[in-house]
């Protein structure tokens, strides 16, 4: 059957106006093909450490002086330290001795260097039993705790605000079991997502979750924050894929529910409460997850479109034509593309011209290469016949696949190189999906602060069309209360008006701890608080965050 090259040629012959697909070459591209290295939504704590400037930034509580330490929590005493040392070996604990701030720092700050806490003790236990003992002690002594995974969060949920004790899952990194027939994987919470995916790749399976931070983030953190990412469109959310959890509850009890069963209707599905609870109900120490077979063939195409209505139409057609092999449908706007071009593709040729308002990346994954390519061809033919797309490229090998993905995944990195970025992670119904970007741009222009040589230099949008999830980014020369006031709560009110979610896949964390009311009713919040009170009566688990 046809090769990708053949597909391009075939389409090239179709003589619709403006529909000849650009048969590009990826020459001299500034990045290599290791996609994960450039999907820099996150770095490892070690990498953060290296880059921490000598003069570190302010403590979060200094930046936000309205945040007050809860006086009910005990401060760390020598006897507490003694207890921790009785449970942990010397390489499993970092204690503030007055001279080792650099050792504590990577755990006290987030990767964006936006939040900084002042914890004096980092525990890195190797076993669930150790964690259970530590948590029990903390609960009895009212010592507050921050559970921390790969520390790749974007909302300040994984770092302390004051002197909370950090319990890191860094050393909890064993794969416990894998069943090659059912595809169920059971592992420690501290396993790095990419390590798991590589392990599964050798066995013909994959993690049903993929995100920029895969090289650093922990599966436990993914579950605790209900991470979304690039494969959700195809494989669904963690609420469907996680089969069981092992959790250390705030009283130190180990909740053992590492089920490997697809069906289990015995009682309320408690594990669901912990998925997306952001460490406020306990510490996830083990995960059982259903993994799908790894597709044998992957194709990627990027298209240029003239309107967001056409983006919607292309998505609609992809659901019919690509159907069971559609694995991603991502979009970005021209401002995002120009920024990526400027910061990441300088001195190289962009595979697409930066003159169309919208760009879409479509990925297909399936078990039969020929079938997949034929479906993709049919899909593209319909797009062009209907005049839905203006131009496009199809990757012809794995390197080109990685490079096309880079245009999408390089956006956060390009953004951070452009200035101080206000990031909003929103779920918005498709009919008004892109309007928030336009409305926000107009609002900032009307206020006279957006434009060349103005405080705000760029407003752009990108994200997961297939999931109704947009990332609104506002680039400023520097963060300022004036700009913030123009953006918030406007962006949240706008989202609430259209029944969207103010936190799609990133969580509430510290950043949006007071924002849940925009997306949930007072009754729901009240029930959530009762559940928190039931499971964590002393409130020691990740305080000040999630729901205030």
Cα dist from 221 to 107, 153, 224, whole Å = 14, 9, 5
Q: Give which of 524, 534, 538, 537 is closest to 547, Cα–Cα.
A: 524
**Residue nearer to a second copy on the CB measure, 321 or 458:** 321
**Residue nearer to a second copy on the CB measure, 303 or 518:** 518
Sole binder of a second copy in the list 467, 471, 483, 538 (CB under 8 A) = 467
Task: Judge contact between 185 and 141, C-beta under 8 A.
Answer: no
Hey, which residues between 270 and 309 contact a second copy (CB under 8 A)?
270, 272-273, 275-277, 281, 293, 295
Using CB under 8 A, which of the segments 63-71, 194-202, 211-219, 508-516 binds a second copy?
508-516
Sole binder of a second copy in the list 267, 347, 448, 481 (CB under 8 A) = 267
Angle between helices 128-141 and 78-87 (to 10 degrees): 160
Hey, which residues between 40 and 59 contact a second copy (CB under 8 A)?
none
Cite the DSSP H helix spans in 410-499. Answer: 411-418, 435-446, 481-487, 490-497
CA–CA separation, 158 and 91 (whole Å): 21
Sole binder of a second copy in the list 508, 511, 540, 541 (CB under 8 A) = 508
**Residue nearer to a second copy on the CB measure, 44 or 241:** 241
Residue 100, H or E segment: none
Hey, which residues between 350 and 379 contact a second copy (CB under 8 A)?
366-368, 371, 374-375
**Residue nearer to a second copy on the CB measure, 27 or 181:** 181
**Residue nearer to a second copy on the CB measure, 267 or 448:** 267
Using CB under 8 A, which of the segments 51-59, 119-127, 438-446, 530-538 binds a second copy?
530-538
CA–CA separation, 331 and 36 (whole Å): 19
Return all residues near 244 (Cβ < 8 A) that are at least 6 apart. 186, 257, 258, 259, 260, 261, 271, 287, 288
Angle between helices 4-13 and 369-385 (to 10 degrees): 20
Using CB under 8 A, which of the segments 84-92, 113-121, 236-244, 340-348 binds a second copy?
236-244
**Residue nearer to a second copy on the CB measure, 475 or 541:** 541
* Residue 468 touching a second copy (CB under 8 A): yes
* Residue 325 touching a second copy (CB under 8 A): yes
CA–centroid distance for 358 within its chain? 23
* Residue 525 touching a second copy (CB under 8 A): yes
CB of residue 82 to a second copy, shortest distance in Å: 29
Q: What region does 517 belong to: left with phi over 0, alpha with psi -120 to 50, or beta?
A: alpha
CB of residue 300 to a second copy, shortest distance in Å: 17
* Residue 547 touching a second copy (CB under 8 A): yes
* Residue 423 touching a second copy (CB under 8 A): no
Sole binder of a second copy in the list 62, 269, 397, 446 (CB under 8 A) = 269
Using CB under 8 A, which of the segments 96-104, 185-193, 445-453, 465-473 binds a second copy?
465-473
* Residue 335 touching a second copy (CB under 8 A): no
Cite the DSSP H helix spans in 498-542. Answer: 522-535
**Residue nearer to a second copy on the CB measure, 4 or 503:** 503
* x-marked contacts with a second copy along 145-184 as a string, rule CB under 8 A: ----------------------------------xxxxx-
* Residue 496 touching a second copy (CB under 8 A): no
* Residue 314 touching a second copy (CB under 8 A): no
Q: Give which of 432, 457, 423 is closest to 335, Cα–Cα.
A: 457
At residue 124's C-alpha, the angle toward residues 119 and 130, to 5°, is 115
* Residue 537 touching a second copy (CB under 8 A): no
Q: Give which of 294, 324, 329, 292 is closest to 314, Cα–Cα.
A: 329
Hey, which residues between 16 and 35 contact a second copy (CB under 8 A)?
none
Sole binder of a second copy in the list 24, 422, 460, 546 (CB under 8 A) = 546
Sole binder of a second copy in the list 125, 158, 500, 543 (CB under 8 A) = 500
At residue 43's C-alpha, the angle toward residues 341 and 176, to 5°, is 130
Which DSSP string corresponds to 169-196? Answer: -TT---EEEE-TTT-EEEEETT-BHHHH
Hey, which residues between 97 and 156 contact a second copy (CB under 8 A)?
none
Sole binder of a second copy in the list 101, 316, 399, 442 (CB under 8 A) = 316
Sole binder of a second copy in the list 34, 198, 385, 521 (CB under 8 A) = 521
Backbone angles phi, psi at 255, to 5 degrees: -85, 105
* Residue 8 touching a second copy (CB under 8 A): no
* x-marked contacts with a second copy along 190-229 as a string, rule CB under 8 A: --------------x--------------------xx-x-
CA–centroid distance for 548 within its chain? 23
**Residue nearer to a second copy on the CB measure, 309 or 385:** 309
CA–CA separation, 444 and 423 (whole Å): 15
CA–CA separation, 273 and 260 (whole Å): 18
**Residue nearer to a second copy on the CB measure, 59 or 498:** 498
CA–CA separation, 253 and 415 (whole Å): 43
Strand ranges of the sheet holding 93-95, from the earlier edge strand across to the other edge: 93-95, 121-123, 165-168, 145-148
């Amino acid at each position: 059957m046809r090769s990708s090259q053949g597909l391009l040629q075939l389409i090239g012959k179709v003589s619709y106006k403006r529909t000849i697909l650009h048969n590009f070459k990826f020459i001299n591209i500034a990045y290599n093909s290791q996609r994960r290295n450039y999907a820099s939504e996150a770095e490892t704590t070690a990498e953060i450490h290296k880059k921490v400037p000598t003069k570190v930034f302010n403590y979060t509580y200094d930046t936000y002086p309205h945040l007050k330490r809860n006086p009910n929590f005990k401060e760390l005493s020598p006897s507490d330290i003694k207890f921790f040392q009785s449970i942990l070996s010397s390489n499993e604990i970092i204690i503030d001795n007055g001279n080792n701030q650099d050792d504590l720092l990577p755990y006290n700050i987030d990767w964006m260097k936006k939040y900084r806490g002042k914890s004096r003790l980092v525990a890195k236990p190797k076993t669930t039993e150790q964690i259970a003992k530590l948590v029990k002690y903390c609960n009895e002594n009212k010592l507050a705790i921050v559970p921390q995974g790969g520390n790749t969060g974007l909302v300040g949920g994984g770092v302390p605000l004051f002197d909370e004790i950090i319990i890191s899952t860094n050393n909890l990194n064993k794969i416990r079991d894998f069943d090659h027939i059912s595809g169920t994987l059971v592992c420690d919470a501290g396993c790095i997502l990419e390590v798991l995916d590589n392990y599964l790749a050798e066995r013909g399976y994959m993690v049903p979750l993929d995100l920029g931070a895969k090289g650093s983030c922990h599966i436990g953190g993914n579950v605790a924050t209900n991470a979304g990412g690039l494969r959700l469109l195809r494989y669904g959310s963690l609420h469907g894929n996680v089969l069981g959890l092992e959790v250390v509850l705030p009283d130190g009890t180990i909740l053992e529910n590492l089920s490997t069963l697809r069906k289990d209707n015995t009682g309320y599905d408690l594990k669901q409460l912990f998925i997306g609870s952001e460490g406020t109900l306990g510490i996830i120490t083990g995960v059982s997850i259903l993994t799908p077979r790894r597709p044998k063939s992957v194709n990627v195409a990027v298209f240029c479109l003239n309107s967001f209505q056409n983006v919607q139409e292309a998505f609609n057609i992809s659901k019919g034509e690509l159907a069971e092999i559609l694995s991603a449908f991502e979009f970005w706007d021209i401002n995002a593309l120009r920024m990526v071009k400027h910061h990441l593709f300088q001195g190289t040729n962009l595979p697409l011209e930066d003159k169309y308002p919208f760009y879409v990346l479509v990925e297909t994954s399936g078990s039969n290469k020929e079938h997949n390519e034929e479906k993709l061809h049919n899909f593209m033919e319909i797009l062009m016949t209907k005049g839905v797309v203006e131009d496009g490229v199809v990757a012809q090998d794995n390197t080109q696949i990685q490079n096309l993905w880079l245009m999408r995944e390089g956006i956060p990195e390009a953004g951070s190189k452009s200035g101080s970025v206000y990031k909003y992670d929103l779920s918005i119904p498709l009919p008004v999906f892109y309007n928030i970007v336009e409305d926000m741009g107009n609002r900032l222009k009307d206020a006279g602060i957006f434009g060349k040589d103005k405080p705000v230099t760029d407003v752009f949008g990108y994200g997961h069309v297939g999931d109704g999830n947009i990332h609104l980014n506002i680039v400023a020369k520097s963060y300022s209360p004036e700009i913030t006031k123009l953006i918030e709560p406007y962006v949240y009110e706008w989202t609430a008006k259209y029944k969207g979610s103010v936190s799609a896949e990133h969580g509430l964390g510290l950043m949006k701890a007071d924002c849940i009311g925009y997306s949930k009713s007072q009754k729901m919040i009240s029930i959530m608080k009762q559940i928190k009170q039931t499971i964590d009566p002393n409130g020691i688990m990740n305080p000040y965050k999630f729901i205030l």
